[in-house]
Amino acid sequence: MTERLTAISGSMFSGKTEELIRLIGRSEYAGKNTQIFKPVIDDRWGKTKSIKSHSGTEHEAIPISASKDILDNLDPDTNLVAIDEIQFFDEDIVPVIRELLDRNIEVIFAGLPTDFRGEPFGQMPILLCLADETVSLTAICTYSENGEICGKPATKTQRLINGEPANYDDPIILIGAEESYAARCPNHFVVPGKPENIFSRKS
C-alpha cells in the first residue's frame, strides 16, 4: 500500500506556500491529521514555528535541519505530511518520502525547481519525477523599463545584489551587501558569468 505524492513547483512569489496551505486545509476538511515540516534555513519570517504565505495566511510548522528528522518527529496518528521549501533538504529527503508513502501517509511538498543560476535546486528534479501530481505555478515578471513592468509569467528567481543581477559565482552569503530576489520571465532572467550548459537559454 502506498499513498499519494503531490508536488507544488514554481519560482519565488508564485504562491507555492499559499497553495500548500490551501491543499492542507482541503485535506484536513476530509479528516486528515497533518504535520508540516520546513527547513531551519527558511527564516524569511523569523524563527517562528509556522509557515506563512506572502498574503499572510499562517500554519504551524516544525523546523528541522536534516531530512531524517521528519521520521523522528512523526506523530502516530499523522496521515498527511506537508513539506515547505523542500529544495533546501539534503538528499535523504527522497528515501524519507518513499518511507512515508509506504507507511500510507500522504505527502504534499512545495519547492523551487531552479536556483538563482537557473539550475536544478537540490532534490527537486527527482522529487518532481516521483510525484503523482504536480501543480506548476508562475509569478509575474516585475522587470521594469521606462516605468512599465514586463508582466509576463515568471518561471525564474532572479537574485539581486545591491539591485544588480548576481553573478554565477557570487558566494551564497555576501557580507555587507543588500540582497534581494525578484520573479523574472525567461527573457529578463540574467546570470552574468554563467557558463554555457544545458540550462542556458538565449534571451
CB of 188 to Zn ion, least distance (A): 4
Pick the closer one to Zn ion by CB: 130 or 150: 150
Pick the closer one to Zn ion by CB: 13 or 126: 13
188 binds Zn ion (CB under 5 A): yes
Pick the closer one to Zn ion by CB: 82 or 183: 183
Looking at 3, 85, 178, 196, which residue is catalytic?
85
Nearest alpha carbon to residue 39 among 57, 22, 51: 51
CB of 26 to Zn ion, least distance (A): 32
> Is 85 part of the annotated catalytic residue set?
yes
* Region binding Zn ion by CB under 5 A among candidate stretches 10-18, 74-82, 113-121, 139-147: 139-147
Nearest alpha carbon to residue 14 among 181, 183, 198, 186: 183
Q: Which phi-psi region, left, alpha or beta, contains residue 69 (left: φ > 0; alpha: ψ -120 to 50)? A: alpha
d(CA 128, CA 19): 16
185 binds Zn ion (CB under 5 A): yes
139 binds Zn ion (CB under 5 A): no
Pick the closer one to Zn ion by CB: 68 or 152: 152
* Contact residue for Zn ion among 20, 70, 143, 170 (CB under 5 A): 143
* Region binding Zn ion by CB under 5 A among candidate stretches 12-20, 28-36, 86-94, 187-195: 187-195
Starting at the earlier edge strand, list the strands of the sheet with 80-83. 62-64, 34-39, 80-83, 106-111, 5-10, 133-137
74 binds Zn ion (CB under 5 A): no
CB of 152 to Zn ion, least distance (A): 5
* 70 and 61 Cβ atoms separated by less than 8 Å: no
Cell 516521483 sits on residue? 130
Nearest alpha carbon to residue 155 among 10, 24, 20: 10
141 binds Zn ion (CB under 5 A): yes
182 binds Zn ion (CB under 5 A): no
* 97 and 80 Cβ atoms separated by less than 8 Å: no
* Contact residue for Zn ion among 150, 160, 161, 190 (CB under 5 A): 150
Q: Catalytic residue positions?
A: 85
Q: Which residues bind Zn ion (CB under 5 A)?
A: 141, 143, 150, 152, 185, 188
